[in-house]
Each structure stands twice: as structure tokens, then as C-alpha cells.
Structure 1
Amino acid sequence: MDNNVQLLSLATAVPEHIIQQSDAAETAARLFADRFQDFRHLAGVFTNAGIQTRHAARPLSWFTEPHGWEDRMSAYVDTARRMFAEAATKALADADLAPDAVDCIVTVSSTGLATPSLDAQLARQMGFRPDIERVPVFGLGCAAGVSGLAVAARLARNRPGAVVLFVAIELCTLAFRLDELTRANIIATALFADGAAACVLKSGVDDGLIEIEATGEHLFPDTLGIMGWKVDDGGFGVVLAQSLPPFVEAELGGALDSILDRNGLSRNDIGRFICHPGGTRVVAALETVLGLPTGTLDVEREVLAEYGNMSSPTVLFVLQRALRQGLPERSAMLAMGPGFSASCMTLRRVA
């Protein structure tokens, strides 16, 4: 039996509060229109974002009041714990495994801080063993759904027979700011949402959903200002460059070809791309770069419409639907994030 890594299960979770995009637009207008001169020029983003509903850690009314670090991180830990437990429990049940079978947990999140880490806080509740290996990862942003899964896959490959649990959890809405009268903040309030996904990985098996084949990343030089956080007393403040879609069109293709080439592959070997839908303009840019007819990334647009941009878990929501539809012989997951960086993973259909 070889040590090829397979994905045994994939589960998702979202917080209970649902925000209709029309309500978000109305609330944003009430909060910003009289204080931010450019708001009227940006208001169209709420209707052009391709989003109908989003899930949030707190009800919409919570965001109409000022909050600082303590409020935001308290909300993060409270909601992240519940989503972690829900997604991980579902994933383990779908893999027909008990929590004490898990040997390692990789957790990615860039939208809140918790020390001890979430996995430690939930260890007794979940029933994890005392000797479990924990790998919490911060700062990879939207790309972490792919790059974090790649870390989990490498750990599984290097420890044949070990069960690795991967959890991606983000509470992007907690970075919405009343005091940030900026273009980036308005766009964030129109795009970002909260969610979680969990996967169970194991090597040396032949009955998984899909095999994780190759992984790779590309860090673009001198691009630190494209995406990320600034940090002040009020919490996280979004950094988001207006030039992202044109940058994707100009630069992503070469980076993707380089990643695939390092693994002995080319785009012609890929039957389907599974992409992180950062927004409608980014999805359109991805179709251009990948040479796909407009509308090909339909599942990406569906997830964006129903859930918004949840950062790292979003591409796993797309993968979940793509698995249900059935994947070709080889697929490729693709996400981009702070750095600015691109992360790619190829998947092989299990015979």
C-alpha cells in the first residue's frame, strides 16, 4: 500500500446569522453616505458583487455600533469555537472516525486570534487525544484554503496511516469598521462573510473522495500592498488594492504554469479548475487567465451568491459542490491571498 494522500471527507459550517445583501446595502448607506463623500460612487458594489446572502458571527445590528479589539476577539472565539466543532464533527462522522483517531490538526485562520489555539480550547469537548499534534497557522488569508490543505497533506504523506484533520475557519465580518471611511472598507462590507470547512486526510487508503496529488505556491515580488490587514486599536482594517483583477489577468497565468511545471504538469493536464471566488470581477479574471468561456466557473459564482467571500473556507465550499457533481481525471484547486501569493493543488480522481 502506497502513501498517496486521500481526502476522506469534507464538511462545512456557517454561523446562524444571515445577512441579506439588500439589507447590508441599506445599512451601509445609512452608516456611511453622509460621512464618506465617495460612498455613492461605491454603493453599486453591493448589487454588482453577485452576492445574495451571507452568514455572520453577529446580527446586522451589531455592526451598527462601535467595537474594539475586546469585543471583536470575544465574538471571534465564541463563534469560531462553535463552527470548528460543527465542521470537524461532521467531517469525522462522514469519514466514520472518532475524534480520538485524529493524530494531527492543522487549523488556518487569519481573521481572529486565540491563545490557547482553538484546537486546544476544544480538545476536551471534541474528545481529541492528549498526544495530538496541533499546527495552527495564521496569515495566509484567502489562499489558506489551498495552502493550508497542502500542509495537512504533507503531514499525512510523511506519516503513513496517520489521520490528519484540516480546519479552515474565518470570521471576516468582524473586521467591518464604522470608523474606516475608505474604499477598501466599503468593498469589504459588500463582499466578506463568515464560514468554516473541515477535511479528514489519510495516506495509504484507497476509498477516499479524491487523491491529493501535487501542491505549489508562488509569491509575487513587491506586492505586499495588494491584500492584507492593517492593525490598530479598533481591530483589523482591510487592505485591498483596486488593481487586483488586472493583476490577476497579467500575472497569474505565468505563476500557475510555473507551479504545474515544477510538478511535471501543464494546463492541458487539468480537466477542471476549482477556484476561490474572491468576487465577480476576480472570477471573470480567472476565466480569462485560464482560457475558459465566460460562465464556466458556475459553481464558484453559486457559492459566492449564497455565502459571499468567506476567505480561506470558500474554495472548500466550491470543492464540496464540485465533488457532488463529479470530477474529471485531474482537477486543480487555485486560490490567492496576502503576500501577494497564489496557491495551487492538483487532485486525482480515485479509481
Structure 2
Amino acid sequence: MTGQLSTIAVSPTMEPAYSPGLTGSGPAAKILGIATATPPNSYSQAELIDIFGVTDERIRSVFLNSAIERRSLTLPERAPDGTMHQESQGELLRKHRSTAIDMGSRAISAVLGRTGYDLDDVGYLTCVTTTGFLTPGLSARIIAELGLSVHTSRLDVVGMGCNAGLNGLNAVAGWARAHPGRVAVMLCVEACSAAYVFDGTMRTSVVNSLFGDGAAAVAIRAVPYDEPEVAEPGVTGPEVLKFASCLIPDAIDAMRYDWDDEAGKFSFYLDRDVPYVVGAHAELIVNRLLTGTGLRRSDIAHWIVHSGGKKVIDSVAVNLGLTRHDVRHTVTVLRDYGNLSSGSFLFSLRRLLDEGVVVPGDLGVLMTMGPGSTIETALVRY
């Protein structure tokens, strides 16, 4: 199965780059490269209005004023009467499995190829997804599909939502630091078209107007202290220095994925106040992330914020005092792909690295948000 594939390789610096108060003990985990993959079919919002059979002008407006131009989706064939086939929950789960394995395998193969590593070099694999449930998990399926070592340590992060990419990165970075010199891979793969319900309501239409299918893989390695320094050309990938989390219990049901009795399948729900709840807590969590580092917000050169939607991006930017330039990659990923859930921030980070403006030593903040309601952050140094 073919589709869009995009990669960028970033060269690891060979210095320990340990800073007291930031990385703790041991060498810092470093991002070596990022690769992304999507399904073969991409649709404009206008095309999707037709495919979904949207006639309500209010819902049409939601699609056309979403700041999204195109999304990659895996959609069923149309029924004989021209309407879209209504997939059962079983069909959706099978689509999640096949689409996730396809996109995920391509993304992992690409990131290893571009960073010069082989499948046998991978010692740890974390797979992050929310758009379907598998037992055995996606990590086992990917290991079998790609032929990774059967001794690969693995973790499946399931059901945490759009914030989960940074939860997974925390685990992968911790494993890499505990095993200097070995390669760890995180895969965020979301078949959001396997989580759609079409009932004509505003609730489901908001979801159907926003999310897209996509996968992003990142390779991480901690450089042993005794490894000789090797000069590498170009901009290096960031070291992962620190994480901070914030759960907002008062908004625990504001974003949820639960069973819809009428539809007979799982359905995602987004509260209209989500952007404002997230924005109101953005400053709190960033201040916590920087506590003890001696850094101020003005020291952060690059911001990568989850492409959660136009209102979410605007709310976070206003509350943190970010400019349109600061969130340019967040905005363009939303425009070109929609909300890709857990992998969105890696699509944006890849664009930043590809842009060629990062200066070694620059500091950055990665921010994701999702059900809980939860905000996750990471401090990185390029």
C-alpha cells in the first residue's frame, strides 16, 4: 500500500551535553530523526462535505472555517445510492489495525533508513495510539510486520489521546538514557477515520471536520560519555531535557472517547470550552516546566504546540504571548493534515528542523494537550 511519506534526518552531536538541573544524571536522550507517513488519499474540506453528505449550513460552516485545507483519510467505498457506507465497529477496528500497521511500518522504516540504523539496532519500541484497540498491541504487530528482534522491549500507550505523544516520548527518553548507545523508537500512529460516527449531529460533525490519519516515528539515542566526539554537518536534533504534566480534573469529561449506544460504536466528544480550558492552564504548566532550570519564557526560541484546532492554537498563543511566527508550523500542519492526534507535534517538529533556522544551543518547548483534560510539555535543546 502506498501513500505520502516524508522524512528528515538530523545529525546527533557526540558530546554528553549534560546540564545539572535539566537532564538529571546520565547522558541526555537525543532525537536522531523523524519520519512521517499518511494514507494515499487526501481530501479537501469541500470534497469531504460532499462525501459525508453534509447539507446543514451550520455544519458546512464548521468544515469550511476550520483553518484546515486538506486531510489524509481512509474512507469506505460509497454505497450504490451514492452515500458513504456506514462502517460497523468491527469494520472500524479492522481499518485501524491495517491502516496503523501500514503507516507505522513505513514511518519506522523511513526514520531508520535516514538515520543510518538497521532494524536490528532497535532495542525499544513504544507505540502510541487512541483510534483503536488491539490485543496483542500494535507494538507486537509492528515487530512482526517489520521483522524487528523478538527481544525488542516494547510499550503500548493506548487511549490517552492527543497529548500521548509526549507521554510516550518520556518513556522512550528514559529507556534511552538507561541504555546509552542503543536506539529507541517511538511511533505515534492514528487512524482517526476509524473513530468516526456519522449521524448528522453537530457533536459528531465537529469531530468529523477536524481529524486526519497519520503516523510519525522518532528515533532516539543517548550518547555514551566515552564515545568519541564526531563533527556532523547541519543542525542537530534536540536533546530531551525535562518533562512536566498538568491534569485538569474539573475538565475530565471535556474530551472523551466512549460508547455511543445509538450508533453502536465508539464516538469522540469535544466540549466547546476545551480551547479556553487548555489556554487558561498553558502558562501554569510552562512555568512548572521551567522551574529549577534558571530559564525564562523569553529564553525559549522555538515553540511546537499540538495542532488541536484553530481555537486551541489561538488560545494557547494568547495565554503564552506567542506570535503567529512562533506557532507557524503548528498552524500549517493543521492546514495540511488536520488534527493528527498524538503525532501532530512530531509533524510540526519535523517542519521546524527541515526549515534550517535552528541554531545549536537553541531551547525549545514541546506542548501537547488532550483528554483528562491534560497538558504535557517537554523542554528540549537543539
Same fold (TM over 0.5): yes
Superposed displacement of residue 197, structure 1: 0.3
Give the conservation status (yes or no) of the 8 Å contact 2:244–2:285. Answer: no
CA shift for structure 1 position 264: 5.0
Q: Secondary structure at the match of 1:114?
A: coil
Match of 1:141 among 145, 151, 161: 161
Secondary structure of residue in 2 paired with 1:312: helix
SS of equivalent to 2:251: coil
Aligned mates of 2:277, 2:113 — CA distance in 1: 41
- Which residue number in structure 1 is paired with residue 45 of structure 2? 21
Confirm or deny: 8 A CA contact 2:96 2:191 kept in the other structure.
yes
Cα distance in 1 for residues equivalent to 2:245 and 2:87: 36
Report the residue type matching 2:29 in the other structure.
Answer: V
Task: Select which of 289, 293, 318 maps to 1:288.
Answer: 318
Rounded to whole Å, the distance in 2 between the matches of 1:59 and 1:74 is: 12
Instruction: Report if aligned partners of 2:302, 2:326 keep a CA contact under 8 Å in 1.
Output: no
2:207 and 2:269 in contact (8 A); partners too: no
CA distance in 1, matches of 2:41, 2:270: 25
Q: Which residue among 200, 203, 211 is the counterpart of 2:239?
A: 211
Match of 1:69 in 2: 89
How far has the Cα of 1:15 moved from its partner?
Answer: 0.7
2:209 to 182, 190, 194: 190
What is the CA distance between 1:294 and its match in structure 2?
4.0
Counterpart secondary structure, 2:379: strand
**Structure with the higher helix share, 1 or 2:** 1
1:331, CA displacement in angstroms? 0.6
**Shift in CA distance, 243/58, structure 1 to aligned 2, threshold 3 Å:** same
Cα-Cα RMSD: 2.0
* 2:174 counterpart of 1:154: yes
Are the equivalent residues in 2 in contact too, given 1:6–1:203 (CA < 8 A)? yes
Matched, 1:251 2:281: yes
1:262 Cα offset (Å): 5.5
Amino acid aligned to 2:207: A
Specify the code of the residue in structure 1 equivalent to 2:43: I
Q: Which residue of 1 aligns with 2:7?
A: none
Structure 2 unaligned runs (5+)? 1-15, 17-25
Structure 2 counterpart of 1:200, from 215, 219, 222 = 219
Task: Give the secondary structure class of the aligned counterpart of 1:103.
Answer: strand
Corresponding residue for 1:346?
A: 379
Q: Is the CA contact 1:226–1:240 (under 8 Å) kept in the aligned structure 2?
A: yes
Percent identical across equivalent pairs? 29
Alpha-carbon distance, 1:236 to partner: 2.0
Deviation digits for residues 288-335 of structure 1, max 9, x if unmatched?
012023454222111111111110111100000001123251011111
Structural mapping, 1:258-277, within 5 Å: 258-261=288-291, 264-277=294-307
Please tell me whether the aligned partners of residues 303 and 326 of structure 2 are also in contact (alpha carbons under 8 angstroms). Answer: no
CA deviation after TM superposition for structure 1 residue 199, in Å: 0.7
SS in 1 for 2:163: helix
CA distance in 2, matches of 1:51, 1:74: 27
Q: Secondary structure at the match of 2:204?
A: helix
SS in 1 for 2:250: coil
Matches within 5 A, 1:327-342: 327-328=358-359, 329-342=362-375
Distance 1:271 1:171 in 2: 32
Kept in 2, the 8 Å contact 1:220–1:339? The answer is yes
Change (3 A) 1:177 1:262: farther
How many residue pairs get aligned? The number is 341
Question: Structure 1 unaligned runs (5+)?
Answer: 34-38
Q: 1:89, 1:246 → 2: CA distance? A: 39
Q: Which residue of 2 aligns with 1:222?
A: 250
Q: Secondary structure at the match of 1:300?
A: helix
1:41 matched to 2:69? The reply is no
